[in-house]
Amino acid sequence: MSELFSVFLHLLLFKLVAPVTFRHHRYDDLVRTLYKVHNECPQITRVYSVGRSVQGRHLYVLEISDYPGIHEPLEPEVKYVGNMHGNEVLGRELLLQLSEFLCEEFRNGNQRVVRLVQDTRIHILPSMNPDGYEVAAAQGPNSSGYLVGRNNANGVDLNRNFPDLNTYIYYNEKYGGPNHHLPLPDNWKSQVEPETQAVIQWMHSFNFVLSANLHGGAVVANYPYDKSLEHRVRGFRSTANSPTPDDKLFQKLAKVYSYAHGWMHQGWNCGDYFPDGITNGASWYSLSKGMQDFNYLHTNCFEITLELSCNKFPGQEELQREWLGNREALIQFLEQVHHGIKGMVLDENYNNLAGAVISVSGINHDVTSGDHGDYFRLLLPGTYIVTATAPGFDPETVSVTVGPGEPILVNFHLRRSVAPASPARRAPGGGRRPRPKAQPRAARKKETEAQPPRGPA
């Protein structure tokens, strides 16, 4: 009965869209589809490339926003990434459907979609591994080659290819050290594939707040950490729960998707059982150098991994059912970026302060303000002590109560630190040092002009 009510509610929220052809899209078809959406909704879309694959295919992104190409302060950035494993294709098709759906519903005046587009900057990367997809597509959905096309053209699994920052965070948690924005090794570019490098540089270019990575082969919403503290025990994979400092928040994000999905929340799927349709990644199996842990440890972005189908390459006849099962979940997940707190970090002259650190007492994971001085901190409902700090400024601390609805606006105005006055120097024998004789005005002026300015540039 509850499922019937859920379907009825979804139909109320969204008018049925015009008939769509549900089919698989090869690379050229994917590119045409993205530009078709852009041509139909040029005022709210932009197509751009974050880089190229090993074989030279563009990693195209469709941006959906009321001001495409522009970051509006206090408007959060969200991303979806599909087809990281080339043979896991459902996410690729769902993201193309989502792109068309958002465009069409915006044009139809669907107020929920209009509000989402006006308040959110959405980035959709349908395929992170276009080379692998072409290999998988060439053999077709009914082939027995289960792993064919999974890796990129160099034979590398892209979800085992990001710099391993978990080792550092586990050390820092035990012995002390940074709890966010862990630095990359100097030679990181030589250690990763072109697709991985492109996505990392993409993460550096936008202050992403929320993300989901779409996979296949199971039906479950997977949240960090993916790598267990003891990655291997006597040669076997460790499967110990490895929570982040934001574990309850990640569980909530995963449950939002699972319960909005047509059947994920039931738990029994593909021969596996996951309570509520969610799992901590490492408690399922430990995975090193994955993308979702990297997002959390290197950027401000909270990412989960969505396993969406038992069949990695479902037949075309299954695509419409899968779209209807995922559509509401894809929208609800995007809406989760509008929770917690957000605001501006400014100095006493109302200049934006980029890179200011936002700390929440009791949660050992900080975020930072972006280039425009705005910050976003996803939080569950509750009362929090929040502190903003920046080098050369006095910290500011506030208490804030977060509700279940829209994010609370919390701005910080930091004042420059005043260096303590140095004690008067004493001359030998205990007396004050005599002041130096005054210089002629011309000499004083010449000395002043020769000295570099003091204070921050």
Residue 128 token pair: 């992170």
What are the CB-based long-range contacts (under 8 Å, 24+) for 136-140? Answer: 136/86, 136/87, 136/89, 136/313, 137/24, 137/26, 137/89, 140/313
Residue 30 token pair: 């994917």
Which of 75, 307, 322, 328 is catalytic? The answer is 307
Q: How many CB atoms lie within 10 A of CB 443?
A: 10
Helix residue ranges per DSSP H, 45-165: 90-107, 111-119, 130-139
Reference 16, options 5, 8, 6, 24; nearest CA is 8
| Cα–Cα distance for residue pair 394/385, rounded to 1 Å | 16
49 CB-near residues (< 8 Å, 6+ apart): 58, 59, 60, 61
Task: Report whether the peptide linkage leading into residue 175 is cis, meaning its omega lies within 30 degrees of zero.
Answer: no
Sign of CA dihedral 196, 200, 201, 206: positive
Q: How many CB atoms lie within 10 A of CB 101?
A: 21
Reference 17, options 100, 93, 85, 76; nearest CA is 100
Query: For the chain, what is the radius of gyration of the CA atoms?
Result: 26
| Cα–Cα distance for residue pair 100/124, rounded to 1 Å | 12
Q: Taking CA 324 as the corner, what is the angle to CA 134 and CA 108, rounded to the nearest 5 degrees? A: 100
- Catalytic residue list contains 348: no
Active site residues: 307
